[in-house]
Amino acid sequence: MVLAAGLAPLSVRAGRAGAAPAVSPDQAPRGKSPRLTYLSDCATCHGAGGRGTGRDAASPLQRPKPADDLGNPGAIPKRRPPAYTPAQAAALVDYIAQLTGDAGPGVPTVVADRSRLQTGGEIFRLQCAACHAWAGDGGALLHREAPSLHRATPTQIAEAIRIGPGAMPSFGNAAVTPDELAGLVAYVRYLNHPDDRGGSALWHLGPAAEGGVALIVGLGLLLMATRWIGERG
């Protein structure tokens, strides 16, 4: 599950999840109104009226770092500090909702339910591990990379699952029920500090790497024992 912009706030609506009060479009955080913010930062692609401009990745725009351009489907998502404060984000969302008449999907409310950890693990291995790896460390895909999940908050995880940012598919209630979502969020958070019952985790590199380490260590011990036996003989 690919988190947009490397698991940074997945939508400007995420800024409303905190305690920041709603801001009127007429207010001006940092001396700049939501309308001016939209016109300067968004209208180039989405149009002054929010109807789009037809621009795409082939547009003749100056792109100093194409890999960082979220308009590029092959871009590698990277976590960055939010571009806007929570107040600015809330005001910008309100302005766009008034502009288009559509407030968009709401921020999902989810509480990580550790009682559903087993169910969450089953869903993660079935739906998520192919891209994000079994330990949530991220993985290489064709012309792109699935980011690590370890720094994602519960809200960001739930947003990514429901909205499907970037190349990631979205999972509605039919695919992942609210109860399953709570378990899945709990399992992703659990991967930050898993219970490694088998001994040393070896940085959670996976069974192939762990087998390689065991083989190297085992061969080393075997060679040392053989040399010691030979010297004793």
pLDDT tens for each residue of 166-207: 788 899 999 999 999 999 999 999 998 887 666 666 666 665
Cβ pair 183, 158 in contact under 8 A: no
What count of residues does the chain have? 233
d(CA 56, CA 49): 18
For the chain, the C-alpha Rg in angstroms (whole number) is: 23
d(CA 165, CA 81): 17
Q: Cα dist. 36→25, 67, 178, 187 in Å?
A: 10, 27, 38, 41
pLDDT tens for each residue of 27-54: 444 557 899 999 998 888 888 888 887 7
* pTM of this structure: 0.59
